[in-house]
Amino acid sequence: MPAINDYWPLVLANLKDRVTTDNFRAWFSRMEFVKTSNQGRKITLSVPSRFNKNYIQTKFKPQLMESLSKYYPQAIHLDLVVNTPKTTENEVKQQVLAHIDDEQPVTEKAKKPQSQNVNKILTQKSKPSYLPKENLNNLNPRYTFETFVVTGNTELVHNVAKAVSEKPGQSYNPVYIYGGVGLGKTHLMQAVGHKALENFPSLNIKYIPCETFITQFQLAVRNHQMSKFKDYYRSIELLLIDDIQFLSGKEATQEEFFHTFNILQQANKQIILTSDQPPNEIKGLEERLSSRFAMGMVVDISKPDLEARIAILTDKVARMKLNLPDHQIHAIAQAVDTNIRDLEGVLNKIQAKLTFSLQSTLDDSTLSQILDVTEPASSVKIEYLSNPGQTQTYKITSNVCSYFGLNYDEVLGSSRQKDISMARQITMYLLKTELGMSYPAIGKIFGGRDHSTVIHAINKITKLSKRDTKLRQKIKIIKNTALKK
C-alpha cells in the first residue's frame, strides 16, 4: 500500500508543466513533503529559506495548489515551513501534544501517559485514508464568475454555467465543456460550484480531477472500501469532474462511473464534466457513457481571438496591479495566441522582472525579449516590437488615439462606431503613406485583418481627404506630431 507521501513526486512532475524550468529549479527543487493534517485538509511542505517561502506564496501559490489538488484533493490549506535543523520529530510531537484534547479525548477509564497518546496519534496520522473526505468541495477560491472574463468565444458556455449555478439539476444536465488546455474550462466549472454554494449553502458539492477519481476507485477496490466509495459519490448533489477523457481505457472505472452517473442524473443531481475533446471523439470510452455525456448540453471553448485576448489581459493586468500601457498589452495579445495560461505566464514573467529590478514600468525592448523567450506558437508581433527601430508605428497609432480621445484597444479592435472606425482607417492610411508598410503587415497589426480590408480603408481616406479640408488638417496634425524628431 503506498504511503501518503508517495504522491509527492507526481505533484512535482505536474508542477513542472505549470512553471518554467528555471522557476522550478529555483523555487521548487528543494521543496519537500512533510505531512498532511486535519484529516487531510492541510498539507505541510518544507522550503529551504524564508525568502523562498515568501516568494512562492506571492508568485506561485495558485500553480502549487493546482498541482497538489490532483493528488491530494482533500487538501485546501497549505502550510510552508522553513526547513532548519531545529525542525525535528520532537517538535511535531509537541504540536500534536498541544492539540491532544481535541484530537483524542481521554476518559477517566482509559487515561494514558501523554507520551503514549502522542505516539498513538502520530501512528494514526501515518495511516492514510484513500476514501474522499466529507464536507470538502475542493473548490479553488480564485475560480469564480467575478474573475472570469467573458468574451465572444466564451459567452455561450458562460451563460450555460450561470444558469446551472442558479438551478442545479434543472437547466442542463449534464453539462459537458470541452476545449484545449488553458482556455478556462476548470475555472468556469469551479465558478459554478462557488455560485451554487452561495445560492444553496447546504448543497453537497464536490470538484474532483478525473485522475484522482480513478486513483481513489482503484485504492477503494484494493482496500475493500467500495461500499463507502459508492455511498460517498452517490450522495453528491453537484458533481464536477475535470478531464473526463482520462476514463479512456479504464473499463472497471468506467463501469462504476456509469452507475454513479445514472443514479445522480436520474435523481436530478447536477453533473458537469470537462474534456479536451467532444464525447464521441474520446477513444476507449464506452458508447453508453459518451451518449450520456452528450444528452445534456455540450459546449466548447475555442481559442480566444485577438480582441478576447486583449480583454483578458486587460483584466488580469488590473488584478495583478501591473503598470502596462495599452500598446504593450496589445503586443502581448498579438505575440501569444495559444491560450489563457500562456498569457498568464507572460504576465508572471513581467511581474517577476519588475519585482527583481525594483521598477514600476517595463520598456518595450525588455518586453520584446520576454516575448521571444516565451516562444509562443505564433511568432506574430506588433511591428514596433519585432523591429525596435520602427517606433514610428507606435507613435502614429498613439497620436491617432490621443487626437480622437480613444484608447489603443478601441482603435485596433473591431468596433464599427463611426469615430472609432474613422480613427482606425486614418491609422492604416498613415502607416501606408508615411512608413510604406505593406498591406498584410498593417492587417497583422489590426488583429490579422485581410489585406483587402486595409486597401479599402486607405482608399477611402485618400478619396475623402481630397475633398474634405478638415480631414486633411486632422491628418496633418497627427502626422506632424507623430513623426517630428
Question: pLDDT of 219-234, one tens digit each?
Answer: 999 989 899 999 999 9
In angstroms, what CA-CA distances link 222 with 227, 255, 411?
Answer: 12, 16, 62
For residue 403 the three cell numbers come to 487626437
Determine whether domain 4-125 maps to CATH 3.30.300.180: yes
The pLDDT score that the predictor gives to residue 106 is 39
72, 64 Cβ separation under 8 angstroms: no
435, 397 Cβ separation under 8 angstroms: no
The pLDDT score that the predictor gives to residue 58 is 84
Rounded distance between C-alpha atoms, residue 67 and residue 60, angstroms: 11
The pLDDT score that the predictor gives to residue 114 is 42
The pLDDT score that the predictor gives to residue 104 is 38
The pLDDT score that the predictor gives to residue 389 is 36
For residue 279 the three cell numbers come to 464525447
The pLDDT score that the predictor gives to residue 136 is 62
Residues of the chain with pLDDT under 70: 1-6, 84-136, 372-392, 482-485
Rounded distance between C-alpha atoms, residue 147 and residue 319, angstroms: 9
Task: Give the homologous superfamily in CATH for domain 390-485.
Answer: DnaA protein, C-terminal DNA-binding domain (1.10.1750.10)
The CATH number that domain 145-301 falls under is 3.40.50.300
118, 96 Cβ separation under 8 angstroms: yes
Rounded distance between C-alpha atoms, residue 33 and residue 8, angstroms: 7
Number of other residues whose CB lies within 10 A of the CB of residue 18: 16
305-381: CATH architecture: Orthogonal Bundle (1.10)
Rounded distance between C-alpha atoms, residue 24 and residue 372, angstroms: 20
Q: Are strands 32-37 and 42-47 parallel, antiparallel or unpaired?
A: antiparallel
The pLDDT score that the predictor gives to residue 123 is 40
Residue written as grid cell 449553502: 201
Give the residue extent of every domain in the chain: 4-125, 145-301, 305-381, 390-485
Query: Fold identical between 145-301 and 390-485?
Result: no
Rounded distance between C-alpha atoms, residue 140 and residue 403, angstroms: 44
Instruction: Categorise residue 406: left if φ over 0, alpha if ψ from -120 to 50, beta otherwise.
Output: beta
Query: Does the model's pTM come out above 0.85?
Result: no
Q: Are strands 205-209 and 238-242 parallel, antiparallel or unpaired?
A: parallel
Which of 71, 371, 374, 37 has the alpha carbon at shortest distance from 210?
A: 71
Question: pLDDT of 54-74, one tens digit each?
Answer: 888 888 888 898 888 877 877
